[in-house]
Amino acid sequence: MATAPELDAPATALDEFRQTARAWLAANFPPALKGKDNALSALEGPTELSADEIAWKAAMGEKGWGVPGWPKAYGGGGLDKAEIRVLQEEMARIGAWNPIGGMGVMMFGPTLLEYGSEAQKHEHIPAIAKGEVRWCQGYSEPNAGSDLANVQTFAEDAGDHYIVNGQKTWTSGGQWADKCFALVRTDKSQKHGGISFLLLDMTSPGVEVKPIRMISGQSPFCETFFTNVKVPKENLVGREGQGWEIGTRLLQHERNSLSGGGGASRLFAGKAMGALAKEYRGADEQGRVPDSDLRMRIVRHEMDSRAFALTLRRAALEAKSNQGPSAATSIMKNVGARITQERAELSIEIMGMAGLGWEGEGFSEDELTQTRTWLWGKAVSIYGGSTEIQNNVISKRILGMLDHQ
């Protein structure tokens, strides 16, 4: 039977880590950055960083705490789940935020850790952990969106390298990316089994990008064209024909990030809905929003948002250390998309004409931002796999429903 000191050891070790983390953060996080938005991983493109932001990013990258759960051997923090929670709590306590992000962290890195060779891990993971390389995703094509297995971008075997020709679309951040992880066809005789997972350098001759402007006025993604692009064989992840397996695993990581980050991260952005309503609609003699129907819908939305946030946290805590994201991420992605869009619609309703400004005088910066956020939100139920695709995943892989011809 374990003695009392042995039982106390884990808690003591965790307490020691908390003190270590607290001291390190106090020494390295610039107070001037407290509460500021993380511009270091913005999808809209590179931004000019302040000296404090540069120093903070370098410190977190060197420590490996930008990706705290990744192995130390590849530049990660090597922390266990309990330590990661403590680190997050200590960062939240002082208003610190993680300066390391992007597709390399949320999608490609975790996938490469599972499927990559040792050489590939040592080549790519440390740079992702330090935020030194920006990655983009080469999945969708003009005729391969929902039917992703229909990708036609072809990688022809040319001995020690491939020659890649084809087109990708909706390439998020492609115009700023250094490298691209892509699904390409290496065998035209079979659909799923003919797909491989390939890494491309976006500076290679024959790579061309054309930004696509969204209804919100932003251009966060583009069309990408590959014309006789030479790609070394060592850039193949896994084996030829394993791309569909690797690619779908990566999508689980993406949906996991989108449900807990991406779209869901905007759930509590800006003012609380009640405060926003009082600002634009006023308050009655009891200090309430006068419109009872609006009050009810605000309360329902806030309840859904809080319940969703708690569900995400519970799912993370219950996950086993050797178990990555599952098909359940499709449920989270759909719920997160719905709540995000509902919040944007409700905000516009509350603000009225003030929430429909595009430019010019008469609108505050927050009001102009709200208009673009509302328009941006229309894409949440599409990117990362549309709501309909997620429903298919849920019905087949969670509910056990099969197609019947």
CB 211 within 8 A of CB 175: yes
Token pair listed for 207: 């790579």
Distance between CA atoms of residues 132 and 129, nearest Å = 8
Cβ proximity of 323 and 386 under 8 Å: no
44 a catalytic residue: no
Q: What is the dihedral of CA 63, 97, 383, 375, to 10 degrees?
A: -160
Residues 6+ apart with CB under 8 A from 47: 39, 40
Q: Which of 339, 347, 392, 349 is nearest to 373 (CA)?
A: 347
Tell me the longest C-alpha to C-alpha distance in the chain.
79
C-alpha 356/C-alpha 344 separation (Å) is 12
| HSE (side-chain half, CA atoms, 13 Å) at 235 | 21
Q: Which entry of 123, 234, 254, 302 is annotated as an active-site residue?
A: 254
Q: DSSP secondary structure string, 187-239?
A: -TT-SGGGEEEEEEETTSTTEEEEEE--TTS---EEEEEEEEEEEEGGGEESS
Residues 208 and 224 sit within 8 Å (Cβ to Cβ)? yes
Closest CA to 354 of 374, 335, 340, 328: 374
> Which residues are marked as active site?
254
